[in-house]
Amino acid sequence: MNKREAKRLREKRKRLKNILIAEIIVAVLAVGIAAVFAFLPEKTRGGSSAGNPSAAENITANEAVTDASSSETASQTENSEEASAETKSEAPSSTTEGESTETASAAETETSSETGASDSSGESDTAEETSSEGSEEEAGSDETPAETPKETVDYRNVVFIGDSRTLSMGVGGELAYDLVPMDSISATWGAQLTDEAAYANVSDAAGRERQIAVFWYGINDVQLNPNRDSAEEFIMNYQTLISAYRTMNDSSKIYLLSILPTTPQEKDYYEGQDENIAAYNAALQQFAAENGYQYLELSPLFTGNDCFAEGDNIHFSKAWYEERFLPAVTRALGIVY
């Protein structure tokens, strides 16, 4: 073979190679455009090629395929072996399309199966839950309603410090209701903030080392003091008494209870008590807030003469302590279980 023939053969192979590459590209484009065209709305597919970019692209692709077919016919005349190679190159494309179709169909079938199984499972679960709830209701109808457990109050970490209104909760004094253990009460009948008895009570209470100290003074300071102490003096006396407690026990959480009035029968003797009590309580609340103490307002528990002991215009009845005072205060202290 001379050089001219060898050159001619190389050029022919080069053309065939270029033709094969062009055919593969065109085939891929045709498949892609056909897929896009298949998903277009029907109105879009039926439009003119001038106003429809997809239609224009499809025409261009068809023209490319026609040109490639003409070239392929020429190349088959020159070399049958290259034509066979071209046929083989087109086969994988068809196979790939077939496999894709089968894969899509299998995926759809599998999805439908899973959906059906999920629906069946959901219906089964719902039926089982309904049956279970019905069984529980039937079983519950035969049971005797459980009794509400009684609340328990733990006074071991509390000490109440005050006057006769505090003392009446225990066994000391004239009333002795015995509602609170005396180990949790340190009070004196008729005590005022400036009395030696009040300081003795504070010393006794601090020595018990309780986590909570509840102070309830004021009714005697408001009514029995001949000088009618002002609210400022009342708070000063309270602060001095609490400071004495703090020197002996600085870890207790301190609660201050508001002052409650007496009966109307006592107002002639304790002139101006309502005005004094309102002023003292307002000052007491502010004092507690400024010093980090807890102030408990008792006025919602007071409803008038029915709160007092029979024949007593100052001290409260046992029922009032049991039904109103102690339930409210012990909950506020957090000692109810």
The DSSP code sequence of 36-86 is HHHHS-HHHHTS-SSS-HHHHHHHHHHHHHHHHHHHHHHHHHH-HHHHHHH
Label residue 263 by pLDDT band (50, 70, 90).
confident
pLDDT of residue 270: 56
pLDDT (average), residues 191-196 = 94
Domain spans in the chain, listed from the N-terminal domain onward: 3-117, 158-333
- In CATH terms, the superfamily for domain 158-333 is SGNH hydrolase (3.40.50.1110)
Residues whose CB falls within 8 Å of the CB of residue 325, separated by 6 or more in sequence, listed in order: 298, 301, 316
pLDDT of residue 137: 47
The residue among 218 and 11 whose pLDDT is bigger is 218
Q: Which of 33-42, 69-78, 219-228, 246-255 comes out lowest in average pLDDT?
A: 69-78
Q: Residue 102 pLDDT > 60, yes or no?
A: no
Label residue 193 by pLDDT band (50, 70, 90).
very high
pLDDT of residue 65: 39
With contact defined as beta carbons under 8 Å apart, do 228 and 276 qualify? Answer: yes
